[in-house]
Structure 1
Amino acid sequence: MADRISAEDQKRWERVRERLRAELGDAVYNSWFTRLELDAVAPGALHLSVPTKFLKSWVQSHYASRIKARAATEFDKVERVVIDVRSSARKPKQRDALAGRDETIQTRAAADNKPQPLAFVTGADTGDAPAPRRAARSVRADADAVIGSPLDRRLSFSTFLVGPSNQLAYAAACRVAEARPGDTPLFNPLYTHASVGLGKTHLLQALAHATNDNRRRAVYLTAERFMSGFVSSLTTQTSIAFKERLRDIDMLIIDDVQFLQGKSIQQEFCHTINALIDAGRQVVVAADRPPSELETLDERVLSRFKGGLCVDIGPLDEALRVKILNARIAASQDTHAGFHVPEEVISYVARTILTNGRDLEGAVNRLLAHVTLNGAPLTVETAETAIRDLVRTQEPKRVKIDDIQKLVASHYNISRADILSSRRTANVVRPRQIAMYLSKTLTLRSLPEIGRRFGGRDHTTVLHAVRKIEELVAKDKSLAEVIDLLRRILNEQ
């Protein structure tokens, strides 16, 4: 295995990462791929690494085939992808060089592959904890299993732009942050949901900052961080300390809870939020959908979510999009004083980019590149060229469950009636599971609705089918290719 990675190989790997981000979305990518690094390129193999055993197991079981497929487009003859856990033997300079722009304090803290402490005071920016606190963390490293996810000081209430779509969520978060030590929580739990790029993570981190500034202890965790901490605590036999530390805080904030997986982990999460709420401590949760659509979560957890205040952050209206663009342009002008965007260009971009704040930020970056690289003034015509890759020219293909059933039946030489029947023979069961899996991944239908469309089956049957096919796809290359073919046909019909 090669000891060094060439600059060209690193560029290829960055392109692979960008493709994964584009395919999976920012939420999934940020949860599982930001700490995945390229270690070496060997004949026929790509060697990658992650900081924890939990992350290695998750990525291998859920995304190995996808990583291999994307890597094959950039690297010659990639027959396998090897994922290892980074050890303390890696030199800091080498680790920093490979991590690039995605490196976080989580990576540095986990690089020695030891259980990490839970940071009660998470208001400090990434990497700037005072020396005494760092020393205390080192002393307690063998008693804990997780460190609070790092906070970005830029994500504060003062930088959160408010409009009709997020006014209620913003007001609720501010009210929760204003509570004084000893106050009974007004909204508990506070549950907010929004699609990608609409500001829920910004709001949660702003709430964590404000709470810590208000002399209360808040811990902000992604679902992945909570899961890895719990698993590490079981491995190191410090689960009691892990639970007690979580339950000895004033506010627990969990982001992207839709990624919370595993029966034992969900049970522990349920016990934790029950203990916090019963003790008068605040719980704040965010997801990409309302509680009623989180079919994979335990019913007891969902019941707790539904019992609090549930607020959503809706699509950005045009006025708010203009405010976001102006804020991003002003930030860019701090480093590029000559960057100027005419009002008519701002209006054009706000009318054209209708998706989310990240696409608006991407539009500003493209406009900045046009000005700095071409040296030409911005006009509506040049802006149209600069942002055309961000413009959604047509609605995404809407796939119907009936079409899925017909195509799968035809491919496996059975009838649609067979798929809907109660037959349990092998030549029918597998196509039925594949059809259920495609129905879940290609449509917006809920599990109960899919079950009804497959002969009145229970939603648990659909969930079992989805998980079964996910497991098989990760192991069986030929099945993965068949499903990919069926998916392409359905999207192109």
Structure 2
Amino acid sequence: MDIFDETDLDRVDQGGFGGPPLNEAWRRCCARLRAELGDDVFNSWFGRLALVSVGSGQARLSVPTKFLKSWIDTHYVGHISVALNAEFGPVVQILIFVRCSAPLEPAKNPPTESVTAAKAAPKSPEPGGDRGPAERRSASRPSAAPTFGDALTGSPLDKRLTFSTFQVGRSNELAFHAAKRVADHNRGGTPAFCPLYVHSAVGLGKTHLLQGVAHTATSQGRSVIYLTAERFMYGFVAALQAQTSIAFKERLRTIDLLIFDDAQFLQGKAIQAEFGHALNALLDAGREVIVAADRPPNDLESLDERVRSRLSVGLCVEIGVLDEPLRLKILEARVAAARMVEPHFEVSPTVLAFVARSIRSNGRDLEGAVNRLRAHCTPTSPPLTVEMAEAAIRDLIRTHEPKRVKIEDIQKLVASHYSVSRADILSSRRTAAVVKPRQVAMFLAKMLTPRSLPEIGRRFGGRDHTTVLHAVRKIEALLQNDPTLRDTLELLKRMLQE
């Protein structure tokens, strides 16, 4: 399959790619990609990918930046090909180009700079009238390569996400106080944690907490950069293209506080290596670092092992599932904020308690519930009842998901049950008192977690996947004639899944 680099091909604008049939087929392709790759990957890399046309065995797609085009070309063009073939039949060529958001006028000697360079600087049009043709031409062309400052300006902060609006409960209390210590740290003193690592499932407040740290530290005059993994990768690639990578590295190493979000999306050996070097330089210089992800450092299999090891050295804090009292506090705060805009918006304590009891997933769904209640509450409508609230939030009420079992929890529980230590299970000892618990733990890890055999072996003291396979088959054979072992495994499974 041929991949063509056609920057700004045919000057196609972002909107209006084909008629409804083409759009509907592309939506089905996107559904296939989302199902295959998962929501996180799809939202990160395919949300701004658009299908322009398909015909004669050729598909043309567009993206807003050259970095996004390069990443999709390198990692996901095969997945796109499969999805397009399923909808349109054989597609021999895929052309991915960078679309232009501003109109360009034809010129005899078109500029050779990348379109990405023109988009690196944020647009800030002056209010009060349109610009003239000469000014539009000037704005459409990059006057110079992106500077280092453009490459590492940091991700934007939401002014609403501060410590004062963060609701504290049992599940996030430790993470909140640890973040406050980092935010209030005096420059020149010993860092509170080296580094602070916060992890949780989506929608439980990681980003809110990190942005609260950024706001507080910035107000104290400290040099702070808040970066998502996507922004860091874009900045690194932009610095390489502009030949300002040395300035990029120097700037990153001189800040007082680095706040890094969504570390699970950090990909690419060169990018991970640069992040690892920056992390080491900051920590060795006594600077503060906060990193957040959706799982513990050791579970980030795609991340370089040296980076995982350095992240594991500091304080690792998990934000747990929101309990009902905390969910109620979040709802009350959201309703109070909504009433500042709409004074007629009234929700009774009974309705709030029902919503807090019904929605157990995350804070984003709670905010969505408040928005739905606002839509049903008008100045002329009757007061909200539980029945009305139930109808409004029906799509947000989800069945309770089973607990995610971790290999570390399996090892600790099995070691405690068999009166051995977790270090014994991970060691190379081959006595009967250690071998059986080790095999039981490997068997449970295979049954209760999505980890592969090589990954399980690595988590059990760096063993080969064949050792894990032998342990699983050994326990399966014993279960045929050992009712005591069957009862033990059932008990351990229930304890791990409760």
**TM-score normalised over the length of structure 1:** 0.65
Between 358-367 and 38-47, report the one with greater CA deviation: 38-47
Choose which of 240, 243, 256 in structure 1 pairs with 2:262: 256
Q: 1:248 and 1:283 mapped to 2: Cα distance?
A: 12
Q: 2:221 and 2:145 mapped to 1: Cα distance?
A: 22
Aligned AA for 1:310?
C
Q: 1:52 and 1:6 mapped to 2: Cα distance?
A: 17
Choose which of 357, 363, 372 in structure 2 pairs with 1:366: 372
Choose which of 207, 213, 232 in structure 1 pairs with 2:213: 207
Is the CA contact (8 Å cut-off) linking 2:49 and 2:61 kept in structure 1?
yes
RMSD of equivalent CA atoms: 4.6
Alignment of 1:146-165 (within 5 A): 146-165=152-171
Choose which of 16, 19, 24 in structure 2 pairs with 1:5: 16
Q: 1:221 to 1:143 in 2, by over 3 A?
A: closer
Shift of residue 234, structure 1, vs aligned partner: 2.4
Shift of residue 12, structure 1, vs aligned partner: 6.5
Choose which of 138, 146, 165 in structure 2 pairs with 1:141: 146
What does residue 480 of structure 1 align with? none
Q: 2:404 and 2:206 mapped to 1: Cα distance?
A: 27
Q: 1:63 and 1:164 mapped to 2: Cα distance?
A: 41
Shift of residue 147, structure 1, vs aligned partner: 2.9
Is the CA contact (8 Å cut-off) linking 2:17 and 2:53 kept in structure 1?
no
What does residue 265 of structure 1 align with? 271
Q: Please say if 1:114 is aligned against 2:117.
A: yes
Is the CA contact (8 Å cut-off) linking 2:66 and 2:115 kept in structure 1?
no
Shift of residue 112, structure 1, vs aligned partner: 4.4
Q: In percent, how many aligned pairs have the same letter?
A: 56
**TM-score normalised over the length of structure 2:** 0.65
Q: 1:340 to 1:114 in 2, by over 3 A?
A: same
Query: CA offsets per residue over residues 387-445 of structure 1, 9 Å max, x none?
Result: 2222223647999xxxxxxxxxxxxxxxxxxxxxxxxxxxxxxxxxxxxxxx99x9533
What does residue 72 of structure 2 align with? 59
Shift of residue 142, structure 1, vs aligned partner: 3.4
Alignment gaps of 5+ in structure 2: 1-9, 105-112, 127-141, 406-444, 469-498
Is the CA contact (8 Å cut-off) linking 2:328 and 2:353 kept in structure 1?
yes
Q: SS of the residue aligned with 2:116?
A: coil
Alignment gaps of 5+ in structure 1: 92-109, 120-125, 130-136, 400-438, 463-493
Q: 1:395 to 1:158 in 2, by over 3 A?
A: closer
Shift of residue 152, structure 1, vs aligned partner: 1.0
Aligned AA for 2:146?
A
Shift of residue 149, structure 1, vs aligned partner: 1.0
Q: 1:25 to 1:337 in 2, by over 3 A?
A: farther
Aligned AA for 2:72?
V
Shift of residue 317, structure 1, vs aligned partner: 0.8
Q: 2:382 and 2:82 mapped to 1: Cα distance?
A: 40
Shift of residue 366, structure 1, vs aligned partner: 2.1
Q: SS of the residue aligned with 2:146?
A: coil
Alignment of 1:92-491 (within 5 A): 112-114=115-117, 141-143=146-148, 145-372=151-378, 375-393=381-399, 395=401, 444-445=450-451, 448=454, 458=464
Query: CA offsets per residue over residues 373-393 of structure 1, 9 Å max, x none?
Result: 994542222222222222223
Shift of residue 367, structure 1, vs aligned partner: 2.1
Higher-Rg structure is: 2
Q: 1:398 and 1:292 mapped to 2: Cα distance?
A: 15
Count residues in correspondence.
390
Is the CA contact (8 Å cut-off) linking 1:197 and 1:357 kept in structure 2?
yes
Is the CA contact (8 Å cut-off) linking 1:115 and 1:236 kept in structure 2?
no
Between 226-235 and 8-17, report the one with greater CA deviation: 8-17
Is the CA contact (8 Å cut-off) linking 2:200 and 2:295 kept in structure 1?
yes
